[in-house]
Chains A and B, each alone.
Chain A
């Protein structure tokens, strides 16, 4: 096994992509939750054997300070799942040499057989600097290979050097350096860099363009304006670019479901395959385009260097809520889906910050809430100009952000304060993002998400199908199969619970089923309202007209404005997502946090919904 180790922004993942081509898989480190990726050296490098290559989370040192840094250290010194690390390629940014070389020294001191991959030499060249690689090699005593992440130059030479390097013999994890040791080593490295660079004094010339851009990007006025613009752009593109793909998935799934009926005949098994299995699979698949675009968009921002600036701009406001700029990416992701958002909190070093961030993430309007909002707002603004519903939708987004901030502020009050609040971030040089490498990386992350959250969503969707079908699968929907199903009878029994929200058992059952995934609310409601229209386009309309006439047994209307507003509030606050709770348990390493979150959000959601409905009724809004 060959491990790639490097600081964040060192170009490690790009190099990994060059080395492994398309052969890779993601591995979950036992006990921890951070992934590393393992691949094999690509065939096109034409080597007699293709050794396994591993990409690890970026780390500044072997003395970890965050969850992802911890994984890198653990995988180096406890490689039980990966097999022993025979050689290490340490990836070093030539513009940040003296800093990044400290990581090399820690690896060397631990006894690893090291090969150095020097990246970003082109940036030095652009600033008119040259580097004497032979001299550097001689000084360090280990092979140094210059690689170009953009063009792939130097990769064959790097592979040669890896092949020639001896196999790591005995490991003794490096002891923590004290201040003097750090000092001494830093001084040595600075001296060394002065020896190998053509004109070390003018080295900050590499920063010239970056500093010019930062004058604008970090400007109090223009910087914030740009920030707003970039984020709006990212958001619109998530929904805009994903829409056609989501439609295709819908069409494909419907076709598959139809095909299942044709192929298997009209029987219970066919129904199970089509409604139970295929449609449940769709519940997982339909979000994949959005997640992919989100990862890709964040990847571009990260790769270009802008993300670190965005985090810096937002740090102060976030600090008021007990978080830091590092919480920015997770929170941004939370607007697409809480599952990858919670996974993204791993690089927050402070446990407290991380907990607050994970606490508020499920409150943000994720994409699974959109179909529910669309239905309820569509109903509320039926016959009104479309912009009104649109405006209301925007309002819901801001409400969810405000609710999230409020929740963060509250938990911030209750958690014991940390002695030293910290935010430290390297602002990397601006660079052109490597699109190809990013596409692949986003693909890996998306697949990770699908394999992690997928089984939970899928299993629950199947359970819900079973619960709404049995014990009387022989009945048709018109004959009230659902009413007499397990879920239906449970719904009847718990109707008193939902009554204060102004809804009957059918809405109650739909709310419960939406714990598999929120958007299931719409199809469940359609199911309980006996809407048998399979066409997605017209189903919404049919459902709305059913909702218009739906009444309690005493003949009073169910879906009054007050009730719909109450439902909207419920969906904003409630944590109706088993996948989120599952991931929260794993990421926080404790049931307590996730269960508390689950209980408190749903109780508050219920309380607010009841309060709103009853309050509005009291004010004369029925």
Chain B
């Protein structure tokens, strides 16, 4: 840069013209002159404007500035200013930079072009200085520098946010960025707590007392939309409650800014910048603040999303773990299948039920396990599930285990869907119900069998009644005979019940049949035969026949006198397998065959022979009644 004067006027013309103040006055550039001692002898209006005042001619020295500063802001004594240097060293200086501070505090950055003035002899008689206002240039340079600095700080901020592992990291990165770009002496970040109260979450350069005093203060409500930042240029002149102002001033804060932080459009907090001098918040500062706030908001959104994702993930993991544990340890078989019923996974209980390993199952489908007779029904249930007709079904069916055995299972099947509603998996719960099924069948058989026995017993009793009463000489005798037969039947039932109706010991059956006619100390019965387990039916028939024989013996035979006795003997032959039993009375009165065979003898001969598919002979010999029984062993003896 050249002196404006030099540009305008050739050098040889300058000296004569220095006195021509009018010309200099007219120049738009600040120009002033001094004498050899540095006292200001002239300045033009442009210089007065630059300085911001009109110094007294002949008194002010070196420079008309109120205060002078080096470009870096440190004080520059007037006698060291470029003009002073030019005079003292008698040389021209071109473009030395300095800053003029006006009375009102505003600063003008300028370049000085002082040049000594000499007389014809060459002696220095004074100097002329041209000041070029470069404030706008400086500002632009500053702005560029500042913008570069801001960009770097914002980049740093972004980078730190990217690496932030916690909310605290986010806050610290934000404070770094705020302090690095907002030119403030302290800063803080506040967030709404659960109750919607604004609380400090991070800060730098603030006293505890201050934080406590202003805690909870917020210009916006939690969740408020479109909050505007607030800039207070001068605390003393702002409109705020006195106690708040007192707290702020007490912290030495003269100006401050409230920058709202929003996440997903709603106010979640703010950051604050504090300054120890009043200041004007220019557009750049405001934009910067908003930029930082936006970045911070995004980070909080991300952090929130991340936190809830982590919570959800943790919950999912826990629930999966729980389900996995249930899946593995369940006593119920669980299998996961494709919608077309191919196995994907099965738990231990399932592999135990089917006998196939998980590996083997993966090569199978549901149908290959299912009993062929149950496949169609199973498939129609699955079809209905997949087509959306039902959400689950329960079916009892048969499985064919790996070892070829058939088991009954209860299958509870449900269908899961993916996000788009497409069938995803069949989930099958399987219980082995073979035992229950067997028990049910046994139960049904038992009930049937019981019914059959009861009905047959009733029919037998009916037969007793009809035939007893029909052949009885009197009603009273008939009733007595009927009761006796009923009791004999009942007692044989008792014997059978003791053996769960699986059979009865022949000895016991005989003992029971004659018990009523045995007196202590008497030996009227001689019994011989080895132990034999009788079929229930044979036991009943034999018991009833023995009862009839004993009754007859009491009335007419061996037991009707004191001397008579009865032999009961039986034996089993192996070749052929037959059963023999003989009842023979002796010592009784002389017996004569009855004229008419009554129900009693019919019961013995016909009844017993029919029931054991054998021969029964009843003989009325002179010695007494003789009854011989001969039957196939398998009709008499219990198989067990």
**Is this pair of chains taken from one and the same complex?**
no
Chain A residues in the interface with B (C-beta under 8 A): none
Chain B residues in the interface with A (C-beta under 8 A): none
